[in-house]
Amino acid sequence: MTVLERINMMKRSFRHALFLVTAFFCATAVAAEMAPDALVKETSQDVLEIVKKDRDIQAGNKQKIYALVDAKVLPHFDFKRMTQLAVGKSWRQATPAQQDALIKEFRALLVRTYSTSLSTYKNQVIDYKPLRMQPGDTDVTVKTVVRQPGGQPIPIDYSLQKNDDGWKVYDVVVDNISLVTNYRGSFASEIRQSGIDGLIKVLVDKNHQAETSGAKG
């Protein structure tokens, strides 16, 4: 399976749940002072209310969705760490310029995945599990379960690390499938075949294809 096929498969697998991942990160500046589980609950409920009332988002208005994701989601992701984990040991072999390019393209790929998922809201409900956290912990997992009308519950776990500017997400696990781990396998395969520049080209081409398709739509 090529890296492009793997990416397409992952996007289909995550599509029905990732709108809630997006919902989680739509927080205000106050979020930096909140406990991670409180941040998840408060911000996700706020955003679900927005999605319920916004017919443009439900209808798939891409400009509006991208604007929402860019303004509200991106500040709460540690894209550098996510990319580093996804690329794995080859990260150290990459030049600073290659690392910047990988972060840029991986970020764009994830933004489009999350943006697509925002328009799939169908009255799902979130259950929040008690947080197991000790005083002084700086790396935690917030566990939730998404309940869908007529569908199976979907567990979604958020891996967060506390940085100087608050809690940042570095992985999302949907139904026991880690976003970072899944990309790591396909990225490693592409790097073995074509090197780091080959992986960058695959990501650039994928993002360009998605952008062109979106412009036509």
Residue 26: its pLDDT value, please? 52
pTM score, whole prediction: 0.80
**Contact (CB, 8 A) for 133 and 115:** no
pLDDT tens digits for range 171-204: 989 889 998 998 999 999 999 999 999 999 999 9
SS (H, E, C) 119-185: CCCCCCEEEECCCCCCCCCCEEEEEEEEECCCCCCEEEEEEEEEECCEEEEEEEEECCEEHHHHHHH
Domain boundaries, the chain: 3-216
Write out pLDDT tens, residues 115-127. 776 667 677 888 9
Angle in degrees, CA 28, 84, 211, rounded to 5: 70
The CATH number, out of the four listed (3.40.50.10860, 3.40.1280.10, 3.30.70.870, 3.10.450.710), of the domain defined by the range 3-216: 3.10.450.710
pLDDT, tens digit, 9 for 90 and up, residues 32-46:
567 888 877 876 777
**Better-predicted residue by pLDDT, 63 or 128:** 128
Q: How many CB atoms lie within 10 A of CB 85?
A: 19
As a whole number of angstroms, the distance between CA 77 and CA 97 comes to 21
Tokens of 82: 């996510």
Question: What's 77's DSSP letter?
Answer: B
